[in-house]
Amino acid sequence: MYPDEPMMTLPIASRPDEGDDGLFYQQPRLVQHIDLSFIANLQEVFRQYLPENATILDTMSSWVSHLPEELKTAKVVGHGMNSVELAANPRLDEFFVQNLNQNPKLPLADSTFDAALNTVSIQYLVDAPIVLAEVNRVLKPGGVVIISFSNRMFPTKAVHRWQNSEEEERVDLVQQYLLAAGGYTDLRVHRKLPTGLTFFFSQQRDPFYCVTARKGAPEVRR
């Protein structure tokens, strides 16, 4: 958000479990939370939007960032809730642990990053617009934010408005978050939905949804 630019407001979201997030995430979960088809679709978006030698902020990260192996980066800074998971992530050059539901202020300088990622975690933020406003602050002008999600979640920690929405309504909700944060332009939706069953496992593949946006140039005031 830029100075003097009004921010739309959305009410703080509630969750079934309002207990200490630090306790919930203190046990490392070194597992994949999405399937291979989702990861492949996400990496295609990364290839499209992430430039070579970019400085990247991976918010709400874990032990894997899903960045394409061939993508060269200048620096990747990870944020998350579990230091063991973050330390196991080979793509992170450095990381920090912080509960954004308690303190959304990022300990990062303005206009530092070419890109910011949020992978299958946006549903856990009780005030997503204020966090995305912080992400906007640390992005360089023209920098991209990439928010991806499927239909999986920790049901006790996902906010009610997410759980009570259909999948396409969640796409709209993420766009509302970005508009409420302020300072974003060029919002685009990317989706790949399963076309059938994976019969060997008798399970449907994870649907892929992604919303991208760019930090707009500050208004020139005369």
How confident is the model over 78-93, as pLDDT tens digits? 999 999 999 999 999 9
| pLDDT surpasses 90 at 4 | no
Average pLDDT over residues 31-35: 72
Let me know if residue 99 belongs to a domain.
yes
Note whether residue 104 is domain-resident: yes
pLDDT for the residue 199: 46
pLDDT of 128 > 70? The answer is yes
The answer, yes or no, to whether residue 218 has pLDDT greater than 60, is no
Q: What is the C-alpha separation between 195 and 192, in angstroms, rounded?
A: 9
In a domain, 1, yes or no: no
pLDDT of residue 185: 97
Residue 143, token pair as written in the block: 């920098």
Higher per-residue confidence, 19 vs 112: 112
pLDDT over threshold 50, residue 48: yes
> Which three-class secondary structure state does DSSP give residue 2?
coil
Q: Give the single-character DSSP code of 91.
A: T
Q: Within a domain: residue 14?
A: no
pLDDT confidence of residue 132: 98
- Using the predicted structure, report yes or no on whether residue 3 has a pLDDT greater than 80: no
19 vs 218, higher pLDDT: 19
Q: Is residue 75 part of a domain?
A: yes
Tell me what pLDDT residue 9 has. Answer: 61
Domain that holds residue 71: 21-215
CA 142/CA 96 separation, integer angstroms: 25
Q: Which pLDDT score is estimated for 10? A: 62
Q: Other C-beta atoms within 10 Å of 119: how many?
A: 25
**Total tally of structural domains belonging to the chain:** 1
- Nearest partner of 24 among 32, 33, 16, judged by Cα: 16
| Residue 16 counted as domain residue | no
- What percent of the chain stands above pLDDT 90? 65
Give the mean model confidence (pLDDT) for residues 15-21: 69
**Range of weakest confidence among 23-32, 126-135, 143-152, 210-219:** 23-32
CA distances from residue 39 to 30, 119, 120, 123 in whole angstroms, order as listed = 16, 10, 11, 18
In a domain, 9, yes or no: no
Read off the CATH number of the domain in which 77 is found. 3.40.50.150
Is 222 inside any structural domain?
A: no
